[in-house]
Amino acid sequence: MTWSRFQQHFHHYPEIGVSLDLSRLPFGDDFLPGMEPRMQAAFAAMRELERGAIANPDEGRMVGHYWLRAPHLAPNPAITGEIASTLAAVRDFTARAHAGEIAGPKGRFRDLLVIGIGGSALGPQLVAQALGRPRRDKLAVWFLDNTDPDGFDGVFAALRGRLARTLVLVISKSGGTAETRNGMLETIAAFRAAGLEPARHFVAVTGAGSKLDQTAEREGWLARFAMWDWVGGRTSELSAVGLLPAALQGIDIDAMLAGAAAMDELTRVPETARNPAALMALAWYAATEGKGARDMVVLPYKDRLLLFSRYLQQLVMESLGKELDLEGRVVNQGIAVYGNKGSTDQHAYVQQLREGVNNFFVTFIEVLKDREAKASLEVEPGVTSGDYLQGFLLGTRDALSEKGRPSITLTLPDVSPRSLGMLIALHERVTGLYATLIGINAYHQPGVEAGKKAAGAVIALKLKLMEALRSAGGEALNAGELAARAGAPDRAEAAFKILERLAANRGSGVRKRARARVVESTFRLA
């Protein structure tokens, strides 16, 4: 990499304080000009999306997450009003909770338990971890983002004796997501076991008329906040999904929205060289040959951005991982995303990145501001810990470049509400533009729905197996025999797995008699 190439492909955006370095991607001088017609088509598609076009044709929906930070751009006054009124409700509820006007039976809320999964948890978790200040936070934040009983127990143990001053947010657009429903029911049981009335603690963030919305209204929960079908879960962080928990924690949500709005304004510019989202979309295209030929390794050199790669996994992989393009052709698109943080990864998988399979590109995220303190300790004469952190970042880039491993570097001024809002908005726009470049629908998730359907079939089989065990009258039967009695002889493998787990949990009532070949083990009800 030469100084000349760096100057040619280093882009600084003084209006937002962000820089983008594409110089370590091996594209030729003709790549960007050659892609310009397709980029202009992507700009045009994005303009139509923001004007309210049906950008999710499979579901017949508009895509409106950009309106969340610029309500005046919404295609009709009703949507503008809904966004404004929901944001006002978030601010009002937060102020009243912080003032103790909305409180638990033992006083002002001190803890916040967020129940959600996917986009209803990843964004709030990222923001809570990136911007939280334990000694300054208004509420300490906890999450239930799975359906793991042991995970539930761990959180409830941490909140033992504190539930009376715990506020609970249940987040689910449909109101029927199994993992969230289960977390809600387990939490309700924990509150009632502690002698507390859940309705005095619970808040719903959900779609109007959903099962969750109906439950919250019927039981008289503290409040209900809107989610809309034109905002997907993976782009919902700057709706009530993410703004309400962030505000309750004490984070400046107005600065987050302002940062996102500033990035949106810049990334609407239909000039590729002046638009960081356009350049990043083209960088992804060049790095992956427009067909997912390389994985994306995300390495933020900042502890506060540890969860960014997890957040980006859903945004990118759920948006771009599609079997069919918009014309119905099989394309099997996508970009796999993984990562952790630097310099931790110096001691983990950088060895393979440099010398192993060359099947990835790296997105380095550099943060210029080291810490809140005015000055840093010198760990060596004239050298601080921050110097070392930058040294590892720049050194790793060089080490990878020496072996022909491509990378992008994104530089932020700091980790603040404004800059995090910018980071989220940037990657939302990059994902949308890239999807247009490769001709797929970024805003649906048929694979997710297929997974949910398959999980439902497993639950149905479990119930049938339990009925078969009850009908057996204490007779011990193997998995194949029980699957046949359950009317699913072709599901013996799944039956075996279900029975093994049931037998490992005393409360199930299922007992196992082990055989030399474990798959021939028999099961009965105690």
Sign of CA dihedral 193, 197, 202, 207: positive
Tokens of 457: 């079939």
- Among residues 50, 179, 237, 318, the one annotated as catalytic is 318
- Between CA 306 and CA 317 the distance in angstroms is 18
Tokens of 473: 């009258």
- Between CA 469 and CA 485 the distance in angstroms is 9
User: Rounded to the nearest 5°, which phi and psi values hold at 410?
Assistant: -110, 125
Tokens of 91: 């601010």
9 classed as catalytic: no
- Among residues 347, 374, 380, 453, the one annotated as catalytic is 347
318 classed as catalytic: yes
- Among residues 11, 98, 452, 512, the one annotated as catalytic is 452
* DSSP-derived 3-state class of residue 330: strand
- Between CA 279 and CA 272 the distance in angstroms is 6
Residue 33 burial class via C-beta count within 10 angstroms: exposed 0-12, middle 13-18, buried 19 and up = exposed
- Between CA 247 and CA 112 the distance in angstroms is 11
Instruction: Give the H or E element holding residue 437.
Output: helix 417-438
Q: What pairs with residue 360 in β-bridges?
A: 295
Q: What pairs with residue 330 in β-bridges?
A: 324
Count the neighbouring beta carbons within 10 Å of the beta carbon of residue 499: 25
453 classed as catalytic: no
Q: Are 123 and 236 in contact (CB under 8 A)?
A: yes
Would you name the residues annotated as active-site residues? 318, 347, 452
